Structure formats: structure tokens, C-alpha cells
Chains A and B, each alone.
Chain A
Amino acid sequence: MLCDVCKSESACVFLTQIVDGKMQKVNLCESCSRERGVTDPTAFALADLLQGLGAAQDVEQLAGRGQKCGTCGFTQAEFKKTGRLGCSACYATFTEGITSLLSSMHKGSSHSGKVPERQARFVEKEKALKELHVQLRQAVKSENYEDAATLRDRIRQLEVEA
């Protein structure tokens, strides 16, 4: 079995940790385990190590497909080179790869901080619409068509409001 970090040496340190009720396993070679302070129990969190690995893999994935941003012409190959995106629309273009990259990088996956005043109403509406769509899907799934119709009407009404 190869080391999860360097992927060249064979692994000789096998770790299992339970973080937030989830079991995480990692296999390391001797030098990587020493480098990452695995032998020092006070200084090591498996979660951090795994997070780091996750992020690197996501960047690879994101770079792997040949998509191009329609707004600015930015490609995934560029992202792999610089780690920076081309324009704000790139977040929508490359949403698939970015979502998992962001979740490995940050504490949460949605913004809860400041909202620009002039965009506040629009942002609120968008959030409400998203929430209604989720409810609509659930209603349809559970064959609760009466609720689904009400939800559909509310969505339509919100969309019409400028």
C-alpha cells in the first residue's frame, strides 16, 4: 500500500480517527508521518491532513475537464496554473469543481455575513426562491400535489415581482 501523501513510498503508519462521528483513515510512509507530526498526539488532527489532500485532488479534478468560461474565456487549465479564477462568472461556470474545493477550504458552504445594501432585496428573493424550489421538489416526491401547486404558484408570483 502506498502512502496517501507522497504516493511513492510504501505506507507503514496506519491511522484511524473519528471526527464529528465520521471515521477517517489515512496511510502514511515513515518520512511523511514524521514531517506531519503524526507521532506527536497533541499537534495532529487527521481531519486537517485529509482536508489538505482533498483540496489538492479537487484542483486536479477541476483542471481535468476542458470547460471554458463564457464571460471571460478562462479555462480550467489556467486555474490549475494559478489557483485564481478569471471573473466572477467563473464561479457559475465551474460550479461543480468549485463547490467541493470550497467545502474543503472553508468552514461552511454558504455565506452568512454582510450583504451589499443595494443587492439585499434581490439576494433575499433568490434565497426564498431556492428554499421554495427545495420544498416543491419534496412535495412532488411525496406526491403531495396540493402543496406542490401552492408552492408553484408562490414561485411564479415571486419570479414576476421585479
Chain B
Amino acid sequence: MAIRKILGKTSDWLGGDGPHHNIVVSSRVRLARNLKGTPFPGWAKKAERVTILERIRPHVEGLPEMAEAVSLACQDLSALEKQVLVERHLISREHAAKGLGSAVVMNRRQNLSIMVNEEDHLRMQSIRSGLQLKAAFKSVNKVDTELEQQLDFAFDSTLGYLTACPSNVGTGMRASAMVHLPGLVLSEQINQVVQAVNKIGLAVRGLYGEGTEALGNLFQVSNQTTLGETEEQIIDRLQKVILQIIEHEQNARMTLLQHRSSTLLDHVGRAYGILRYAYSMNSKEALNLLSLAKLGCDLGFYPEPWSVAVDELFIETQPAHLQKGSQQKLAADERDGLRAEIIRGKLEECPTPAILDVLSKVPPSTLPPKSASPEA
């Protein structure tokens, strides 16, 4: 089955090679579009949704970008397969709840996915590694331009693209970046940053979007408004804010390193110990420890091969990704055991972190006082 090809392969954007990838995990841009004269998916009857899907799907599958695509109808996907796609951010949680009359088409590299009959008739999304909002927009905008040659989109000269939810009207665009901010969390500055960002019309959300918890010190920053500005203006504004967040995060990390190095080393060192030797771990704990390990990589405490291993573990230890490797349904405690096993297995091959070596490179004046060390 086609989905196997996708599930067995990691997403392209997880490569961790984009600009600022230490702090910005990924950039995503999605566009919402609807057909003229037909009800939105949430209000359409089942038969109407099927007709809409039949009208849209051939055009989406015919896109040059989708030459080697995987096209999946929602009713053909198991709950587990859908959850795996959610964990990879290829479909939304809302789309995972859909059945007959909805579908998703995604390319092999898994950086372009198009949902049909989610909240809107079309939700097209492009994902890139690191801070690459412009590149992500360019790619999804091209797809939109190609599709609008063949499909009549609902568009109003004043309101722009018309969407099921008034909050998306205008450009129908949501641009977002997933940022990893352990420094700001550890130094307790995160609330200030979140509030400041909210104040200028941008939203900060948890790992899986609206209403989700910020696990693993991962946050999504996105535009809140879609009407009144051009796509480029929205992206420019978001890009500027994210560059500032990066600067704040880097400053927070430097300050921690200089003034609270023992706390920082304790966190990073404990994360190594637990990840390396634990025999049971729930997904929340795993995300939080992996976040600290990622911080350790960024600061140079953990040697090179670590950062790829840690980035992969972020996805591989998610509940559905764990389950997909097993034949029978795992209970929660079995999953926790398996998660710990996978982490141990992967980290076994990584060299022991050289935390002390790094510390010796920090100017002595910034080291914790002698009395804080265990020998004293």
C-alpha cells in the first residue's frame, strides 16, 4: 500500500540543515482555498463532499510537484496511520478525524502536502527545515497558481479568498515557524516573550497547533491575521520577529552558560543519564529530555553525531510512530518501555558527551564557585 512508502521514510524537512536550524526546527506556510458555489466541507452533505473531492483530486494529483506523490483517501487510512501523519505535521488533527469525502496528497519528500476537504476545500502546505518561510511560501504559492488555472476559487474583491472560518479570510495564509526555546524557558523569560509576540498580532502555540501544550520547549509562532496585508508583508513581519526571538534565545543561553553554568550542566547531564539508562519513559518526559539533549548539542556539550540522533528521536518516540513498528496494539506501559529501548539503542552508538571538555573552554571567572563542586 502506498502509505508504506511514506511511513518508512523520514520527512525531508527533518534533515536539520536549514538556516538557523539550531533554534528554528521548521518553517511552514499553508494556504486555504475553496471552490465557488459549493458549501464548505463542514456544512456540505456527505454526497456533496464526495463530489467536491472528485472534482479537486485529479487536478491536485496532476500537479508537476506531485509527480511522485502519494494520494490517500481518509477512509482508507487507519487511525494509527493518520496519527503518524499528524505527528509528522503532514495532516492536521482535524483532518485525521475525517472519513469518506476527504483525502490528502503529499509528495515523496514529504515537504508538500495538500488536504482536500479539511475545514476548507483545499489546505495546501509546504514545510522546510530551519527558517525558510520565504522558500516555503514560494513553493506553495506556485502550487496555488497552478491550481487556480483549473479550479474556480471563491474570491471577493474586498475580502480576498473566502474561507470557512472568518479568521482565515483574505490571504487564507498561515505562516508558522517551530522554534526550540529551552534557554528562554530555563531562564523564565518565556512568558514575557510569548506576551510580547501576542501583542503584535502573532500567535504562539504548542507543538501541534491550537490548544496544545508546549512540550519539549517547542513553540509554534504564526501570523494571527490574514486580512489587510499582503502575503509578503505578513511573512516579512513574522521573519523579523522570529529573528528577534532567535537573538533572545541565544542571549538567554549565553547568560545561563556564564552565570548559571552549574544549573545548566545539571540539566544537560541529567538528561544524558536518564535518556541513556532509563527503562520506561512516557512521551512527555522524552520530549522534555530530548529538548535538553538538543540544547546540549547546540552548546557543544554533546559531540556531533548526537544532533541528528536527537532530532530523529523527537519524531520516532511519538506514540503513533512507536506503535507502527509493532504488530499488536501496545498498552501505555509497553509503549513507555519500547520508547526507552529505542532511545537507549540509538544513543548507545553516540560517544559520551564531553561536558567537562567544553566547560574548560568557558572562562574560569564564569565557572561556578569551588564550593559547588562535589569534591569540596
Q: Which residues of A contact B (CB under 8 A)?
A: 37, 42-43, 45, 48, 71-72, 74, 78, 82-89, 91, 98, 101-102, 105-119, 122-123, 126-127, 130
Which one of A84, A87, A118 lies within 8 Å of B119 (CB-CB)?
A84
Contacts of A101 on B, CB cut-off 8 Å? 166
Cα distance A114–B196 in the bound complex, in angstroms: 29
Cα distance A42–B198 in the bound complex, in angstroms: 12
| Beta-carbon nearest neighbor of A125 in chain B | B157
Count how many pairs of residues, one from A and one from B, have CB atoms less than 8 Å apart in the complex.
Answer: 131
Give 11 A-B pairs besides A45-B199, A85-B40, A108-B227 with Cβ atoms closer than 8 angstroms. Answer: A42-B196, A83-B166, A84-B119, A84-B164, A85-B43, A86-B39, A89-B37, A106-B225, A114-B141, A119-B153, A122-B157
Tell me the minimal C-beta distance from B296 to chain A in angstroms. 31
Which one of A82, A105, A109, A126 lies within 8 Å of B157 (CB-CB)?
A126
Contacts of B244 on A, CB cut-off 8 Å? none
Contact A107 B145 (CB under 8 A): no
| Beta-carbon nearest neighbor of A84 in chain B | B164
Contact B43 A84 (CB under 8 A): yes
Contact B40 A113 (CB under 8 A): no
Is B228 on the interface with A (CB-CB < 8 A)?
Answer: yes
Cα distance A83–B168 in the bound complex, in angstroms: 12
The residues in B between 192 and 235 inclusive whose CB is less than 8 angstroms from any CB of A are 192, 195-196, 198-199, 201, 225-231
Contacts of B230 on A, CB cut-off 8 Å? 112-114
Which one of A45, A110, A119 lies within 8 Å of B155 (CB-CB)?
A119
Cα distance A136–B192 in the bound complex, in angstroms: 51
Tell me the minimal C-beta distance from A68 to chain B in angstroms. 12
Is B42 on the interface with A (CB-CB < 8 A)?
Answer: yes
Knowing A110-B159, A110-B227, A113-B170 are in contact, say whether A78-B43 is a contact too (CB < 8 A).
yes
Is B102 on the interface with A (CB-CB < 8 A)?
Answer: no
| Beta-carbon nearest neighbor of B167 in chain A | A105
Contacts of B155 on A, CB cut-off 8 Å? 115-116, 119, 123
Is B148 on the interface with A (CB-CB < 8 A)?
Answer: yes
Instruction: List 26 contacting pairs A-B, 8 Å CB cutoff, sorted by A.
Output: A42-B192, A43-B196, A72-B39, A72-B43, A84-B40, A85-B164, A86-B43, A87-B37, A87-B38, A87-B39, A102-B166, A106-B170, A108-B227, A109-B158, A111-B157, A112-B229, A113-B160, A113-B229, A113-B231, A114-B144, A114-B161, A114-B171, A117-B149, A118-B148, A119-B153, A119-B155
Is B375 on the interface with A (CB-CB < 8 A)?
Answer: no
Contact B149 A87 (CB under 8 A): no
Tell me the minimal C-beta distance from A44 to chain B in angstroms. 8
Is B36 on the interface with A (CB-CB < 8 A)?
Answer: yes
Contact A111 B159 (CB under 8 A): yes
Contact B42 A82 (CB under 8 A): yes
